[in-house]
Amino acid sequence: MKNIKLNNGVEIPSVGIGTFTMSPEDAEDAVYNALKNGYRLIDTANAYVNERAVGRAIKRSKVQREKIFVSSKLWPTEYTNPNAVDETLERLGLDYIDMLFLHQPAGDWKAGYKQLEKAYKQGKIKSIAISNFEGKYIDELLKICEIVPQCIQVECHPYFPQTELRKVTEPKDIKIMAWYPLGHGDKSLMKEPIFIQLAEKYGKSSAQIILKWHTQMGFIVIPGARSEEHIKQNIDLFDFELTKDEMQEIAKLNKNTRYYNGGEKELLQYAMWQPTYETK
């Protein structure tokens, strides 16, 4: 596994498992199987309503806590809850979280960020991150924050490699964590001739080639997978390297096209939803 060093010196695995859209039962099994097969990065969120399941899987795995990198996200309705970080820790069953995000630039996100900075100083979280803060949002945050975030989670894939955002993040050494890393399962992306060609050359799948591209771009990837076979495949990326010429060919696929095109109004409405957390 290749680790990436964040701007505060903390190291994060470059590949992990995401639990978005997973039921608690699916999340527990997927995280357990991921840890059993060598994963050390697990991503969840308040809004996924499976944090307790992730915590159960970590305990079941018997992997030492300090060897696992756990990231979660505060939902906007929690930004003004002074107990939000402690409640997230309680659901996960952990003493600290390796990385905690603000999930959306909605609600009182400035209060939410101050809460992350406070928890960081207290040692409750080891790194601070933001999710979906692009354009004006990241510009404003960087003007008012005391601690520069270590990571930003956004849609990112060969059709949309976040070229404009990287002009802001790279000078600050803010790492990108990609959601929809495989293009939301888009078959047209998977069937791009360059990926079919490279898959044949390296004895891999198109998905593995795309995930390898992410890691060589310096991105962190958290593909979701429920089957143990796919979980194994998604981390089997470190026995080959794409050449400079191959990376340049993949770069030509950039269409500056997203799969998720929700506007600001939709974002704000969605952020008012209140998760009903697991109780046990």
Residue 159: partners with Cβ closer than 8 Å, 6 or more residues away: 183, 186, 189, 253, 254, 255, 257
Long-range residue pairs from 33-36, CB within 8 A, at least 24 positions apart, any chain:
33/228, 33/231, 34/231, 34/235, 35/61, 35/63, 35/68, 36/61
Running along the chain, 280 residues long, what does each successive block of 10 average in pLDDT?
A: 96 98 97 98 97 98 98 96 98 98 95 98 98 95 98 97 98 97 91 98 98 98 96 97 98 92 69 80
The predicted pLDDT at position 267 comes to 67
Please give the Cα distance from 166 to 173 (Å, whole number). Answer: 10
Residue 202: partners with Cβ closer than 8 Å, 6 or more residues away: 209, 240
Domains of the chain by range and CATH?
3-270 (3.20.20.100)
Instruction: Count CB atoms within 10 A of the CB of residue 274.
Output: 10
**Of the candidates 280, 219, 254, 264, which has an alpha carbon nearest to the alpha carbon of residue 16?**
219
The predicted pLDDT at position 263 comes to 67
* Count of residues in the chain: 280
The predicted pLDDT at position 264 comes to 67
Can 137 be counted among the known catalytic residues? no
Question: Active-site residue among 48, 79, 113, 120?
Answer: 48
Q: How many CA atoms lie within 13 A of 237 on its CB side?
A: 28
Q: Position 106: which residue type?
A: A
Q: If you write DSSP's letter for every residue of 171-192 in order, what string do you get?
A: HHTPEEEEESTTSTT-HHHHT-
11-13 and 3-5 beta bridge pairing: antiparallel
12 to 66, 223, 233, 268: CA distances (angstroms): 12, 15, 20, 30
Beta bridge partners of 177: 153, 220
Please give the Cα distance from 6 to 223 (Å, whole number). Answer: 20
